[in-house]
Amino acid sequence: MVERGTHIERFLSQAGWSDAKREPLPGDASFRRYVRLHGAESRRVLLMDAPPPQENVRAYLAVARLLRGLGFGAPAILNQDAENGLLLIEDLGDDTYARLLARGEAEEPLYALAIDVLVELTRRFKPKEARFLPPYDDERLLNEAALLVDWYLPAVTGKPTEPKLRADYLAVWRAALPAARRAPATLVLRDYHVDNLMRVANRSGLMACGLLDFQDAVLGPQSYDLVSLLEDARRDMAPDLAARMKQRYLAAFPGIDRASFDASYAVLGAQRHAKVIGIFTRLSARDGKPQYLAHIRQSLGHPDLAPVARWLDAHIPVESRRVPPSRPAA
């Protein structure tokens, strides 16, 4: 078997970047890693190392081409070895929204641009042009919601979740999910939040908003990316700002049924929180990344979520909703 390093060296040599200075960038919650390559005359590109089978760069390539074709700020693809999970992509810089906000940048202009990108993405996207996108169907949504009982519940109780308890949990979610379909279907990037949005220097308009981490895109309710942005577990957002940004989005679609959209927004927001809670717990228990556990948050106030709220109250009462140990209980 050819070592991973050999694949990388061969790829960089063929692409003309073998002599570049290499600067590894901080990792994220995936198996991907990024290395900034510094070449002659201050040229810079990024090496995406996405080892198969855990990662699949073909999905990234397809969505990147789609986004750029629609006029949005995904990185340009400069070279590729899809079989071995290696890409050279445009370096969009270091100014993620998360870093800008941490440095004290004004929130409203950044969020307003992100909202405007979502609005135009919904307007420009035509499902028939992206038949490769999988549907965000109930099976996917339920599998994600199940991460809470598969990882978080065992971590706080110290024992595996019983099959019947897991089945009952999925049943209450199955009853709630039809409300998620009340919003029209569009391209859903799925991780549209401050860590995956960038302000790109020397760009204007919508292209000034760089887009990252979109390889898991699906065809699903247009409320999903909005709730990912405005109900992000990674940071607290002032309720009045979130309300203004939601209204900014909805004002662009005056024909939309507001009650239906709000129901979809609420259900998918709670489903995403359940998924994120499970993922963050798994990252701590399996992958040794306990820092993600600090982001646990959940909201279940909408009437369509009443059965889910009752299940959680019965089996994970408020006093038990804590950050679990960084390793599974013995």
Does the pLDDT at position 301 exceed 90? no
pLDDT digits (tens, 9 = 90+) for 235-276: 888 889 999 999 999 999 999 999 999 999 999 999 999 998
Rg (CA), the chain: 21
> What mean pLDDT value characterizes the chain?
91
Q: What is the pTM of this model?
A: 0.90
Please list, in sequence order, all residues whose beta carbon lies within 8 angstroms of the beta carbon of residue 257, skipping any fewer than 6 positions away.
182
User: How sure is the predictor about 292, in pLDDT bands with cuts at 50, 70 and 90?
Assistant: low
Q: Cα dist. 116→51, 250, 253, 265 in Å?
A: 34, 11, 12, 18
Q: Cα dist. 171→87, 137, 310 in Å?
A: 41, 15, 12
- For every residue of 45-80, DSSP letters joined together read EEEEE--TTT--HHHHHHHHHHHHHTT-BPPPEEEE
pLDDT digits (tens, 9 = 90+) for 101-132: 999 999 999 999 999 999 999 999 998 888 89
Strand order from edge to edge, sheet including 21-24: 21-24, 33-38, 44-49, 86-90, 77-81
Residue 33 DSSP symbol: E
Does the pLDDT at position 286 exceed 50? yes
More confident residue, 9 or 31: 9
User: How sure is the predictor about 330, in pLDDT bands with cuts at 50, 70 and 90?
Assistant: very low
Q: What pLDDT is attached to residue 298?
A: 52
Q: What pLDDT is attached to residue 244?
A: 97
Backbone phi and psi for residue 153, each to the nearest 5 degrees, phi listed first: -60, -50
Q: How many residues make up the chain in this entry?
A: 330
User: What is the rounded average pLDDT of the residues 34-57?
Assistant: 92
Distance CA 53, CA 109 (A): 39
User: What is the rounded average pLDDT of the residues 15-25?
Assistant: 94
In the numeric block, the tokens 């993405």 are attached to: 121
User: What is the rounded average pLDDT of the residues 71-94?
Assistant: 96
Does the pLDDT at position 314 exceed 50? yes
Is the Cα dihedral 253, 255, 261, 262 positive or negative? positive
- Percent of residues, the chain, with pLDDT higher than 70: 93
